[in-house]
Structure 1
Amino acid sequence: MRTLLKPDKFTDLNKSIVYTVAIILAEFKKNKYKCNYNDLYTTIEEHLGEDAFYLFLPSLDFLFLLGKLKYDIGSDMLEMII
């Protein structure tokens, strides 16, 4: 399987980090900007199938690097910073 992280002209945009981030953002918006990690992964898996395994963590890393996510240890929840 070729890498899904480095885009090229053959990249399926529906199986890319940008698309995965869009799904994650929609899920946060739907859940009042808080999500459980397992529920979020399940949602991504419903959209992407087995590709979720390769795209979920890099997408979360991308959002953390942008400063848009934080993890609350007390509630074990991911929170979106608006």
Structure 2
Amino acid sequence: MLTPRKHLNLDVSVLRIAAIMLRELKKRGVMEFERLRGIVIRRVGGDGEITFLPALSFLYLMGKIEYHAKNDVIEYRAN
């Protein structure tokens, strides 16, 4: 659940990581999984790696991205 807590670091929250991912995917349209992960870690730091998969799942559930396993790429879906 996305409930804020007293000690939540907003810099590595699921919503911030998802926003970073969406910004990069909007620019490029399609991006390799590892490249997107690397961008998130560079922008946020090591803690971004922990939040990367939950943010990716959040975007998928919201219908904003599509994962293509054959090429291991993530595609931005404009709704």
Question: Equivalences for 1:59-70 in 2 at 5 Å?
Answer: 59-70=55-66
Moved beyond 6 Å, runs of 4+:
none
Q: Is the Cα contact below 8 Å between 2:40 and 2:49 reproduced in 1?
A: no
TM-score (norm 1): 0.82
For structure 2, the 5+ residue unaligned runs are none
Shift of 1:75: 3.0
Partner of 1:20: 17
Shift of 1:6: 5.5
TM-score (norm 2): 0.85
Matched-pair identity in %: 34
Encode CA deviations 1:18-63: one digit per residue, 9 max, x unaligned: 11001001110121x2110000000000012111221000000001
Question: Equivalences for 1:1-82 in 2 at 5 Å?
Answer: 7-31=4-28, 33-82=29-78
RCO higher in structure (CA 8 A, sep ≥6) = 2
- What is the RMSD computed on CA atoms of the aligned residues? 1.6
Q: SS in structure 2 opposite 1:54?
A: helix
